[in-house]
Structure 1
Amino acid sequence: MDNSPELQRFIEQEKQKAMVSEMVGKLTNVCWDKCITGTPGSKFSSSETACLTNCAQRFLDMSMIIAKRFESMQ
């Protein structure tokens, strides 16, 4: 098996892409379920927009805290 630095870098980049994609999917599901209570129209109401913004910010803050804890464990 080829363990070249380029291959290792590629694998690490793909892992990071997968993690970001998974995080966006979770964020979308969690915040959508929490904030969108009615049938969505052509645009979000001001309360839905505020809720989505706050939810996304809290989710990202928690993700950063978790990522830093994992880094410190390695």
Structure 2
Amino acid sequence: MSDFESLSSISGDKELQEFLMMEKQKAQVNAQIHEFNDICWDKCISKPGSKLDSSTETCLSNCVDRFIDTSLLVTQRFAQLLQKRAGDL
């Protein structure tokens, strides 16, 4: 195998790993959103009906939005800590 072929193989492996990592992250986000929806459903829905009233709809929307905001805040904070730690090394 030539050096060029080795580099191409390594590059392809790296791209595959990045793709797989991104797909895993998408799956984690989707799973998290489903979990938020379940929690908010239990919190906001007292009795299921044929349609949602405005207060229930608002409760669901606000509940999911707060979970997503909190999740993003925690993720950003961890990213900041990792960057700071990497800079200290």
- TM-score normalised by L of structure 1: 0.83
Structure with the higher helix share, 1 or 2? 2
**Alignment coverage as a number of residue pairs:** 72
The separation in 1 between residues aligned to 2:28 and 2:51, in whole angstroms, is: 29
- TM-score normalised by L of structure 2: 0.71
Q: Alignment RMSD, CA only? A: 1.6
Percent of aligned positions with the same letter in both sequences? 44
Q: Is residue 60 from structure 1 mapped to residue 64 from structure 2 by the alignment? A: no
Q: Which has the higher contact order (CA 8 A, sep 6+)?
A: 1
Aligned to 1:29: 38
Structure 1 spans left out of the alignment, 5+ residues: none
The separation in 1 between residues aligned to 2:78 and 2:44, in whole angstroms, is: 29
**Largest Rg, 1 or 2:** 2
Runs of 4+ more than 6 Å apart: none
1:12 aligned to which of 17, 21, 38:
21
